[in-house]
Structure 1
């Protein structure tokens, strides 16, 4: 049997309830819970260890991708049978936050589930869309590009 491919997701949060700063200040790890929509729960249940997720600020003032988290604990129930959670850990902040308006205007992001299912708090992200959003944001801290950028700044790291 072949190794499962990494999957990509987008997790929405109101910055007034749980922001990127909260995520980073929490030692980087948090329980992603409180998801009540059955489709969004289904997506959470589909997440596997090491899957990557865009951390997306929703709300009227700040609809944008601000960082990346990784799944460190797969779905577990909340004990009452009505919900559950996954645990996620901060990987890094986007080098440049990617605004919803910018994403909607990018032809490479047509069909992004975020646009098709705007009310869901958890949506899948195809690899092509993941790479395009990362390109728009200049990548994210911890994506392995930091070393290459530093090497170039220092003359190639010979």
Structure 2
């Protein structure tokens, strides 16, 4: 792990896009982020080579299921300009796009799901954004120590 590497967690509903889908595709854009704070993390924080926990949300067993890597710098999310897309934003323009995305590439699927309940019960992760009450962001930073601790849980 490079000392400049940053760590992130990105949530996806597995019936919309799962770790297995990413594995099949190899690399995919992470579109549809429509929260300003999550957008800002991607736009201002993420860099090519950063590591990402792939998290399955809104499912029977939410948790971390894999590892990905940021493959591109942030660029405008084309779905915001498509009136047929559920992510269309009439207030956004090509000259001043409101929403961005990054591409992520598959690194590995974990041997098992590290569940949200496990993460919440671990005192070493008490300050992690994911386990704090009321945090529903789809993209969030993960500390380097949290990253190492979670990988060791696998």
TM range (shorter): 0.7 to 0.9
- After superposition, residues 29-68 of structure 1 pair within 5 angstroms as 29-45=27-43, 46-68=45-67
The root-mean-square deviation of aligned C-alpha atoms, in Å, is: 1.5
Q: Is the 8 A contact 2:13 2:59 kept in 1?
A: no
Residue 7 of structure 2 contacts residue 147 of structure 2 at CA under 8 Å; is this kept in 1?
yes
Please list the CA deviations of residues 37-74 of structure 1 after superposition, one character each: whole Å capped at 9, or x if unmatched: 00000111110010000000001412110000001101
2:85 alignment partner in structure 1: none
Shift of 1:4: 6.7
Match of 1:99 in 2: 115
Residue in 1 that maps onto 2:22: 23
For structure 1, which runs of at least 5 residues remain unmatched after alignment?
A: 138-158
**CA contact 2:119–2:131 (8 Å) conserved in 1:** no
Partner of 2:139: 122
Indicate yes or no: 2:26 matched with 1:10: no
Match of 1:134 in 2: 151
Q: Distance in 1 between matches of 2:152 and 2:10?
A: 19
Structure 2: give runs of 5+ residues left out of the alignment: 79-92
* Separation (CA, whole Å) in 2 of partners of 1:57 and 1:85: 19
Deviations 1:102-133 (A, max 9, x none): 11111111100112253100010000110111
Residues 59-68 or 34-43, more deviating: 59-68
Tell me how far 1:34 sits from its aligned partner. Answer: 0.6
TM-score (norm 1): 0.80
From the CA coordinates, give the structure whose radius of gyration is larger: 1
The count of aligned residue pairs is: 134
| Whole-angstrom CA distance in 1 between matches of 2:58 and 2:148 | 24
TM-score (norm. length: structure 2): 0.82
